[in-house]
Amino acid sequence: MIFSSVAQRIDGLQYLADKMELSGSRVRRYLLQTPFTYRAETLEKQFDDIEKAVRILDKHVHAPNVLKLSHLFSSIHDIKGTLDGLKTSRVLDEIELFEIKHFASLCRDIRIVCEALDFMENAPACLQEVFDLLDPDETGTSGFYLYDSYSPALAKARKDASLAKAEENTKLWQEATERVLTEELRVRETLSGTLSGMHNLLRNNFDRLAYLEIVFAKAALAKQYGMVRPRVVPLKGAGGTDAALSVKDMVNPVLSDVLATEDGAFQPVSITLEKGPCLLTGANMSGKTVVLKTLALTQALTQFAFFVPAREAVIPLVKDVFLVLGDKQDQNRGLSSFAAEMLELNEIMGVIKKGVPVLVLVDEPARTTNPAEGAAILCATVAFMEEHATRSLISTHYGDLDVQVRKLRVVGFEGEKATGVLDPSAINRYMNYSLIEDKGHAVPKEALQIARLLGVDASFIALAQQFLKKDDDETIKTGT
Amino acid sequence: MPFVHQIIPYSSLSVVGLGKNTGKTECLRYIIKRLSEKQKTIAVTSIGIDGESIDRVTATPKPEIHLEKGMYFTTVGAYYLQKRFTAEICHVEENATVLGKMLTARALEQGQLVIAGPTDTLSLQRWVTNTLQRFPVDICLVDGAVSRLSPASPAVTQSMVLATGAAYSAHLKTLVDKTRFVYDILQLPVASQTVKKSLEHITKGIHIVKEDGTVENVGIDSALTSAQIRKVVALGAERLYIPGMLGNALLQAFMEQKGAEDMCLYIKDFSHIFAEPRTFYAFLRKGGQIRQLRKVNLLAVCVNPVSPRGYHMRSEELVESMEQALGVPVYDIKKIEA
């Protein structure tokens, strides 16, 4: 599982990746191929690095060196093709040899900056040996050609060619330049052979530099979105850890950016999830889906070694995150949204049955079928998660369910006195998105109230009210 | 040593040929040789693959450029690797073209090489700036594409040399007239300082220029389609700034309307005019004016009296008629070199 594949199913990952300032496709490729990590030690090491980078970015005195570093990053060329060539012992051409020398000299410059920033543990290795090989005349500059000093035969051939040219002896000149080409090839073969032996060293440096740049980009992102280092709880054995997932004041960066353009702000949400299932209820427009999406994003960010958008986060590691939004209908394959959702859940249950520890976030399962069977499917889902002790959050509008399970409710609409017609963003202002424990069996019934405030025809709402059963009638807060 | 001393004050020069075989390559060779003798460090590049890397008709590659020892040159990897002389690679661009990465190298001995550098005006402009910054170079030379004047735009190079010759037209009078037309466009007068200041930063949209030098955007992006042209002419403005292209149809429309004698059109520089000689001269004859914000320094016109089809003009006669028509020094490079 790598970043690019997970980003296709967890909202917000790609958005944040696009927000990162990276010097080019070389680094972006590396980021997209970052593996989903569930080894705590690996993550802790990377978090240490990001934390240190944040401290460096925070200090004003480091600004010139940080600027220099980003300039050096953007000077690095994508020499993957050349490095692959070295691995297969291909003979490099003059331009590729120049690129290797240029790379070695950049590594040296980056080491100097890392030293000044006291960040040597992530600096590229010293490539003096490579540089010296490509700088036989000890000029110290990054220019390159096939120097005479590589081979007396090459020097002789070049001298002959030059003499023949001066004498305008075409035949001699042609013969001598042919010899020059032969000797140049020989030199390139020798150099490529020697560099082949250093392939691992070069390759490691190439990767380390991408890593270093990503660490700084992650640190900059953390500063931009006020992200914090998550505390990770290691996986214990096959069944996963028993510790609770707990996130305080979690923010969705995508929505928070959108709201900022409309002069709004994202109301942070706190949540704790023990092992096993938990239901999430709340009125329409109360942000249940956003909670699920943000939680999925937070878990995924943690396991790709990013800081997370919250004030505090304790994240038990898992081997996968599933976010089921029930919007995967595929008319081309003849799948209705119900069918697609069932197949997706089935697949996830298959994984869980194998004992793989995962986090499951499901948005209103079986909402597209009849309420009787829908509620049954929901209860079965909860029971399954209970049986397998799978940490899961399942949102629903179904009430009076026949299962004993923890319930969280979005506090919801607090604009009882609101009258007239409001636009959707005004309704958002009356919404309290906090989560509270809910001991009751009923679910909030504010659909008609919200519809009224959205300006839906009053006679239609009155009609709907007539259809409501009498005993339900009392729980409805119509505000009129 | 004609006109080489005139180049020295400038840090960039383009050589443009009005047609194939007008002696552009010889002209460039002459300039490189003379500047090297004056101990000037030169960097050279040529309009890239989009230009004339391969002659589409005869499929012959573009001619090799003669390089002196110590010169910097920018070309693509595929051509560089075919060189038969020693050179040191100094800089390689990150992005690759179909012919490999573009690179800048320094010749360690004399040699010849096919040069194909940046392909568009903007990257050429960047090449000039970067080259002067990165390397100890006195002057950047741009070998322009045949019959494409844009690389010689003052936005790219400060000065230019024009190459023309028998291959462009075998009839002496036609050749002189055709060259004269290009010359007249190049030499269009420069706008006043006030106007220049208010227009310099406008890159889009047709503007009316008022008496006091202030400008007004009329909300028309360009004047290319006949509908746009009708709208622009209907403005009835005396002074107009056209930052994009000044095409033949627009000029024709202005020429035909009443009050053309009081009109003044402002353009960025000569490379933005695309007009027929007839329309161009008719507009000017009626009293209309065209002024440019920036003018290139045309240093010399070089002629090649020999056409590849075997037609020879008499060198002296050609140089003399050309000089009379243009009023600038005209040289037959081959004659000078001999």
Task: Write the single-letter amino acid at A443.
Answer: V
Nearest CA in chain A to B84: A177
Domain boundary among A167, A186, A216: A216
Domain residues for the domain of A84 are 3-216
Q: Is the Cβ of A136 closer than 8 Å to some Cβ of chain B?
A: no
Nearest CA in chain B to A154: B86
- Whether residues B89 and A145 touch (CB distance < 8 A) is answered with yes
Q: Is the Cβ of B94 closer than 8 Å to some Cβ of chain A?
A: yes
Domain boundary among A158, A184, A216: A216
Spatial separation of the C-alpha atoms in residues A79 and A75, rounded to whole Å: 12
Give B-chain residues touching A158 at CB under 8 angstroms.
Answer: 86
Kindly report, residue by residue over B116-133, the tens digit of the pLDDT.
888 888 899 999 999 999
Nearest CA in chain B to A185: B81
- Residue A269 placed within a domain: yes
- Whether residues B94 and A24 touch (CB distance < 8 A) is answered with yes
Is residue A350 located within the same domain as residue A460?
Answer: no
- Whether residues A95 and B89 touch (CB distance < 8 A) is answered with yes
Q: Is the Cβ of A147 closer than 8 Å to some Cβ of chain B?
A: no
Least CB-CB distance to A95: which of B84, B92, B109? B92
Q: Is the Cβ of B100 closer than 8 Å to some Cβ of chain A?
A: yes
pLDDT of res. A158: 94
Best mutation target among B92, B93, B99 (most A Cβ atoms within 10 Å) is: B92
- Which segments of chain A have a pLDDT < 50? 471, 473-480
8 A C-beta contact, residue A309 and residue A250:
yes
Is residue A431 located within the same domain as residue A284?
Answer: yes
pLDDT of res. A332: 66
Give A-chain residues touching B81 at CB under 8 angstroms.
Answer: 93-95
pLDDT of res. B231: 86
Domain boundaries, chain B: 4-186+296-337, 193-292
The rounded mean pLDDT for chain B is 86
Domain boundary among A148, A183, A216: A216
Spatial separation of the C-alpha atoms in residues B23 and B27, rounded to whole Å: 6
Is residue A166 located within the same domain as residue A177?
Answer: yes
- Residue A221 placed within a domain: no
- Whether residues A94 and B86 touch (CB distance < 8 A) is answered with no
**CATH number, residue A342:** 3.40.50.300
- Whether residues A95 and B77 touch (CB distance < 8 A) is answered with yes
Spatial separation of the C-alpha atoms in residues A107 and A198, rounded to whole Å: 15
Spatial separation of the C-alpha atoms in residues B301 and B321, rounded to whole Å: 12
Checking if the pLDDT of B1 tops 70, the result is: no
Least CB-CB distance to B103: which of A95, A158, A180? A95
CATH topology of domain B193-292: Cytidine Deaminase; domain 2 (3.40.140)
Checking if the pLDDT of B2 tops 80, the result is: no
Torsional sign, CA A448, A453, A454, A459: positive
Give A-chain residues touching B69 at CB under 8 angstroms.
Answer: none
Give start and end residues of each alpha helix (H) in A227-370.
Answer: 253-261, 288-303, 337-353
Least CB-CB distance to A144: which of B77, B88, B109? B88
How many helices (H) and strands (E) in chain A? 19, 10
Which residues in chain A (60-89) have CB-CB distances under 8 A to chain B?
Answer: 77-78
pLDDT of res. A336: 79
Is residue A240 located within the same domain as residue A322?
Answer: yes
Give A-chain residues touching B100 at CB under 8 angstroms.
Answer: 95
> Which residues have C-beta within 8 Å of that of residue B200, sequence separation ≥ 6?
B293
Is residue A237 located within the same domain as residue A171?
Answer: no
Is residue A57 located within the same domain as residue A181?
Answer: yes
The alpha carbon of residue A13 is apart from the nearest alpha carbon of chain B, in Å, by 28
Spatial separation of the C-alpha atoms in residues A17 and A27, rounded to whole Å: 11
pLDDT of res. A479: 38
Kindly report, residue by residue over B134-172, the tens digit of the pLDDT.
999 999 999 987 667 777 888 889 999 998 887 777 788
Question: With 0-12 CB in 10 A as exposed, 13-18 as middle and 19+ as buried, what is A166?
Answer: exposed
pLDDT of res. A478: 42
Q: Give the long-range contacts of residues A416-419, CB within 8 A, separation 24 or more.
A: A416/A477, A416/A479, A417/A479, A418/A453, A418/A479, A419/A479
- Whether residues B81 and A158 touch (CB distance < 8 A) is answered with no
Best mutation target among B75, B82, B93, B94 (most A Cβ atoms within 10 Å) is: B94
Nearest CA in chain B to A173: B84
First to last CA, chain A: 53
Spatial separation of the C-alpha atoms in residues B197 and B200, rounded to whole Å: 6
Q: What is the mean pLDDT of residues B105-126?
A: 90
Give B-chain residues touching A165 at CB under 8 angstroms.
Answer: 110
pLDDT of res. B229: 86
Spatial separation of the C-alpha atoms in residues B34 and B36, rounded to whole Å: 5
Question: With 0-12 CB in 10 A as exposed, 13-18 as middle and 19+ as buried, what is A99?
Answer: buried
Is residue A68 located within the same domain as residue A104?
Answer: yes
- Residue A188 placed within a domain: yes
Give B-chain residues touching A143 at CB under 8 angstroms.
Answer: 88-90, 106
Q: Is the Cβ of B129 closer than 8 Å to some Cβ of chain A?
A: no
- Whether residues B88 and A78 touch (CB distance < 8 A) is answered with no
**What is the complex's ipTM, to 2 decimals?**
0.83
The top-level CATH class assigned to B4-186+296-337 is alpha beta
Q: What is the mean pLDDT of residues B202-219?
A: 87
Kindly report, residue by residue over B226-244, the tens digit of the pLDDT.
888 888 888 888 899 998 8
- Whether residues B110 and A94 touch (CB distance < 8 A) is answered with no
- Residue A20 placed within a domain: yes
Provide the number of structural domains found in chain A. Answer: 3
Q: Count CB atoms within 10 A of the CB of residue B181.
A: 17
Checking if the pLDDT of B57 tops 60, the result is: no
Percent of chain B whose pLDDT exceeds 70:
93
Q: How many beta-carbon pairs below 8 A join chains A and B?
A: 41
Q: Count CB atoms within 10 A of the CB of residue A448.
A: 19
B193-292 has the same fold as B4-186+296-337: no
Is residue A340 located within the same domain as residue A374?
Answer: yes
Kindly report, residue by residue over A127-140, the tens digit of the pLDDT.
999 999 999 999 98
Is residue A339 located within the same domain as residue A351?
Answer: yes
Is residue A61 located within the same domain as residue A115?
Answer: yes
